[in-house]
Structure 1
Amino acid sequence: MARTKNQAQRRDDLITATLQTVGETGLRSVSLADVARRAGLTRGAILYYYDDLDALLLETHRAGVERFCDARDAVIAELPDPRSQLAAAIREGLPSGPDDALMRLLYEFDVLAGTSSAHDEMVEHMFTRQLEIYRRVLRAGIDSGDFSPVIDIEQFALNLVALEDAYGLHIVAGNSLLDVTAAESAMRAAATGLGAPPA
């Protein structure tokens, strides 16, 4: 049992090292040697856990999606009302800034969609979880009487995800014409205009 636990911890450490390495070098430039240096291991030691770099990157993509989505769900779950939850969903869905390593990695992984069915599944999985967050909060707001959407919930959620992704991409790309505050404000305004004012 201890061996299994240690292996799980080592895999988690390798994923963290990969996230950090890609955040610095970019996805196209990352190598097993880079990750090994970051993790304090040899290249051969990494190959004990993963068949090759592609396998490690796929697992890192999967873990990155879960870390982002789980952390966001946890923040929203702590809030008492739909208006606060919507405000948090918008805020937590945006990168913290151009140096947000996890979000940068997730956007970089999007470019692998279409080249790998496994990465396609990860991109779709994250999209599904993004949609479900907004659907859930919007439904709760309608039930509580806080929201009166002027469009269908499915379209509303889809629009919020599209804004989140578009603004997030500009932020991690370092667009000097857009910052996190402006993006959050624009998303809040859009939600309010469509009948669901965040707190």
Structure 2
Amino acid sequence: MARPKNQEQRRQALIAAALDSAGSKGLRSLSLADVAKRAGLTRGAVLYYYEDLDALLVEAHKAGIQRFCDRRDTLVQSLDSPGDQLAAAIRAGLPSGPDDALMRLLYEFDVLAGQSAVHDELVEAMYTRQLAIYTSVLEAGTASGDFAPVLDIETLAMNLVALEDAYGLHIVAGNSHITVDKAEQAMRAASTGLGAPPTPDGGETPPA
């Protein structure tokens, strides 16, 4: 029997293989055999760690959310100015482009919402993390006097999350009318119009 440490390493390797396989093939056509092949294991070996493909995908979804949200949280927390933080949160919340496999996969997971309580919880967890990052930045900026929102912070944060999801979905779908830069500028314009402007240059403080 594998040692606990080795078991955890194998589980992490399987989660990575599931994310990679689903990113390249899509969830609808993904099979346990695909994940096993990517991980260099047999199908039976995968079933030793996860009872079925759905159980593995639940863990992969959790890992994907954590990877996306933790990375953005770390970036935002590394900045001092609320304007810089808002600009960074907007940019980092959008896909890098149509070939952003992780973001495309997270949107695909949303399709599973309503099919099981677990998937519902994961979709809500993703939304909660998105909402929290904008809420914290807006609260800090309002308290410091950098922002003067004309809407309440909860509503403003909800609107930013909605824009992030809508633009992100168009980007990964390959809509040529909505590029990453256009989506970012549109979100900046919306936040400026609502009284909470990010700094002009992608989180960099403009020269005096």
Question: Is the structural similarity TM-score above 0.5?
Answer: yes
Task: State the 1:3 CA deviation.
Answer: 2.0
Task: State the 1:188 CA deviation.
Answer: 0.6
Partners of 2:61 and 2:6 lie apart in 1 by 21
Partners of 1:3 and 1:82 lie apart in 2 by 46
Task: State the 1:107 CA deviation.
Answer: 0.2
- Structure 1 or 2: more helix by fraction: 1
Partners of 1:59 and 1:193 lie apart in 2 by 39
Alignment of 1:93-172 (within 5 A): 93-172=93-172
The runs of at least 4 aligned residues of structure 1 exceeding 6 Å deviation read: none
Task: State the 1:127 CA deviation.
Answer: 0.4
Aligned residue for 1:36?
36
Q: Which amino acid aligns with 2:86?
A: L
TM-score w.r.t. the length of structure 1 is: 0.98
Aligned residue for 1:49?
49
Task: State the 1:198 CA deviation.
Answer: 0.4
Root-mean-square deviation (Å): 0.9
Q: Which runs of 5+ in 2 are unaligned?
A: 200-208
Q: Does 1:185 align with 2:159?
A: no
Partners of 2:73 and 2:167 lie apart in 1 by 20
Q: How many equivalent residue pairs? A: 198
Give the SS at the match of 1:67. helix
Partners of 2:15 and 2:84 lie apart in 1 by 32
Task: State the 1:174 CA deviation.
Answer: 0.6
Partners of 1:64 and 1:51 lie apart in 2 by 20
Task: State the 1:192 CA deviation.
Answer: 0.7
Aligned residue for 1:5?
5
Task: State the 1:8 CA deviation.
Answer: 1.2
Query: Residue deviations 1:103-158, cap 9 Å, x none?
Result: 01100000000011100000001101110100000000011110000001000000
TM-score w.r.t. the length of structure 2 is: 0.93
Query: Residue deviations 1:28-83, cap 9 Å, x none?
Result: 00001101111111111100110000100111111111111111101111001111
Q: Does 1:22 align with 2:31?
A: no
Partners of 2:82 and 2:3 lie apart in 1 by 44
Give the SS at the match of 1:147. coil
Partners of 2:105 and 2:7 lie apart in 1 by 24
Q: Which amino acid aligns with 1:99?
A: D
Task: State the 1:5 CA deviation.
Answer: 1.7
Partners of 2:189 and 2:195 lie apart in 1 by 10
Partners of 2:191 and 2:60 lie apart in 1 by 32
Aligned residue for 2:63?
63
Partners of 1:177 and 1:11 lie apart in 2 by 40
